[in-house]
Amino acid sequence: MKSRFLLAGAAVAGMLAVSSVHAEGLPAMTVYKDPSCGCCTAWADKMRTEGFAVEVVPTDDIGSVKQQFGVPDELASCHTAVVGGYVLEGHVPSAMVAWLLDEKPMTAGLAVPGMPVGSEGMAMPGMEPDTYPVVSFGASGQSTYARYRGEERLSD
């Protein structure tokens, strides 16, 4: 009986070690959002499932947060996140966040303007997903980096 407990404890410790190593490899993420926005919470939860340590900061003045982090008005969405020195505006797919942190391009960040149906955090059962751009932005301007339909990346 005692050996079963030791084996179970070792297995749990091993799983915790693996998950903490994964989490330690990713920078912390801060998400600024309106206190009543559920889709922002869903997006933050998705980032947690991807291994990010996410701090959610509710704010009644999201406009000033966007201004502080240099988000262009035309790219605005419902929440703004900061991770690894980059700004994420709106429902940026988790795969694009991983790409950004891995490739470290010379950009201020990535944005998904508006609130596209079917994007991460914007699932609407029974509704067709929108097609939308993922836009990089920064001092050198803006450019569409990728296009998505819902959570699926389309060919470039």
Q: Say if 82 falls within a structural domain.
A: yes
Flag residues of the chain having pLDDT under 70: 1-24, 156
Residues 6+ apart with CB under 8 A from 30: 54, 55, 56, 57, 81, 82, 83
Provide the whole-model pTM: 0.82
Judge whether 16 lies within some domain: no
Tell whether 143 is covered by a domain.
Answer: yes
Is 121 inside any structural domain?
Answer: yes
Q: Is residue 53 part of a domain?
A: yes
Task: Count CB atoms within 10 A of the CB of residue 96.
Answer: 19
Query: Is residue 14 in a domain?
Result: no
How much is the pLDDT for 86? Answer: 98
Q: What residues make up the domain containing 134?
A: 27-153
Q: Give the rounded distance of the alpha carbon of 100 from its chain centre.
A: 11
Q: Give me the CATH number covering residue 138.
A: 3.40.30.10
The strands making up 152-153's β-sheet, listed across from edge to edge, are 54-58, 29-33, 79-83, 86-90, 109-112, 131-138, 141-149, 152-153
pLDDT at residue 39 in the model: 86
- Within a domain: residue 11? no
